[in-house]
Amino acid sequence: MSDFTFIETDPKHHQGIKLDEYNGQISIVTGNEGDNGKVWLKWAFPQTRNKEPGPKAIPVKVVIGNSYQEAISNLKRLMADLGADSKDTGVYPKQPEQGAPEPSPPAQHEPQAGGFNDDIPF
């Protein structure tokens, strides 16, 4: 297994994600980083067909490819869904934490010919 970088996504609880390679599959796994820098993966008992917990725990993961090229391609597709362009490396400096976003203003209704359209659309 290669040693991949742990990306802390929740600094308060030291939770995050990292890549993992096991049996030729590349996955994103979740875990917690200890004080010594060791990453402890989260494990779960997957459900069986009758919705009972399975007999064996496995790491919580999402398989993103069976090769590095396939994983890169799939991650680029996810980046495009987030609005990144094809030249975007996805590496950004850590932003300082900010307060809660300001609430957006309420939607403005445009009057119709006979006043406001209060009909339910279904």
Assess whether pLDDT exceeds 50 at residue 1.
no
Q: In terms of pTM, does the model score above 0.75?
A: no
Q: Which two tokens stand for residue 121?
A: 């659309």
- pLDDT value of position 27: 97
Residues 6+ apart with CB under 8 A from 49: none
- pLDDT value of position 99: 59
| Per-residue pLDDT tens digits for 14-54 | 999 999 999 999 999 999 999 898 999 999 999 999 999 99
Residues 6+ apart with CB under 8 A from 19: 2, 4, 5, 26, 27, 28, 29, 71
Q: How confident is the model at residue 112 (pLDDT cuts 50, 70, 90)?
A: low
| Cα R_g (the chain), whole angstroms | 22
